[in-house]
Structure 1
């Protein structure tokens, strides 16, 4: 079983909240369905500081813990992704949405992973991650649970099957 995480492609487009205070919103989603969504206004960064264009992306980058989709990607992937979360609109100069992963699986193999802990036993950082395949099963996209120490914001994890499907659709980024 191959599991992937989101990663930035050098030179690709980014999407950022217009207000710096709004970054916090994206780290507090924690796999929970949003019942009162108040989306921040977003800006797509299409150019580097020197004015050269960034590479187009159907998934403008914000971080490993969030998945932002342009309208085409959202339309094509909706049937595949919907069982694992919810699409939340984000206001920007073009239609984009956040896919909020609400499927949370406690698949971390703490004994086989390399974990640095705080003095009280809470997880500071996971240096080498090992996941339990039996816990994941056929789930194609998921997050790990928020840890009691509240420090760990889970990345989004994707099984190879869904990564391959995204690639077959010709989406970029």
Structure 2
């Protein structure tokens, strides 16, 4: 088994909430169901990272952060079924566009991080996890999972099942870095 985290690809658009407080709403997704109370967050596509910078291409999976996976309609059609077993899709309102964006809210928070074997940096004042430099997971806790979070951080983690589906569909804008490889393959 392999575990991956997503990252944005150079040259492709980013998505940002229009209102500052909405960024917090997206960041604080914790695995709880939000479908009943969710109101579509207004977002805009950043087609340049700075004034005078190169124009960024439209992405199937526009980048928002490692805590969120955003899907355009093309990506939803291609990998939505693979993700539906482990999460739900929340509407995003893309300003100035008819294209429908969805935010994937993973519903699996699994206590699978082996903190004793991982290399973890903590905030000195609180002891909370600041960064995980090397991930070690308890493989038995992840059997059959496609995407998940761990209680220690907001990062979304993906297994080969999802990464293969993204690769097979040729989706653009987001790539996946392997952060852990277990004993079984």
Same fold (TM over 0.5): yes
Measured in 2, the distance between the counterparts of 1:161 and 1:37 equals 28
- The residue that corresponds to 2:42 in the other structure is 41
- The residue that corresponds to 1:138 in the other structure is 144
**Pairs aligned (count):** 167
- SS of the residue corresponding to residue 7 of structure 2 reads coil
RMSD: 1.7
Write out per-residue CA displacement over residues 75-120 of structure 1, whole angstroms, 9 at most, x where no aligned residue.
2212111011001111112211101111111110011001233466
**42-51 vs 29-38, which deviates more?**
42-51
Distance 1:71 1:40, change over 3 A: same
Measured in 2, the distance between the counterparts of 1:106 and 1:40 equals 29
Deviation at 1:51, TM superposition (A): 5.6
- The residue that corresponds to 2:135 in the other structure is 129
Unaligned runs of 5+ residues in structure 1 are none
- The residue that corresponds to 1:55 in the other structure is 57
Write out per-residue CA displacement over residues 35-67 of structure 1, whole angstroms, 9 at most, x where no aligned residue.
300222110112342163213310111000100
Measured in 1, the distance between the counterparts of 2:80 and 2:126 equals 42
Decide whether the 8 Å contact of 2:147 with 2:157 is kept in 1.
yes
- The residue that corresponds to 1:101 in the other structure is 106
Task: Using CA pairs under 8 Å that are at least 6 residues apart, name the structure with larger relative contact order, 1 or 2.
Answer: 2
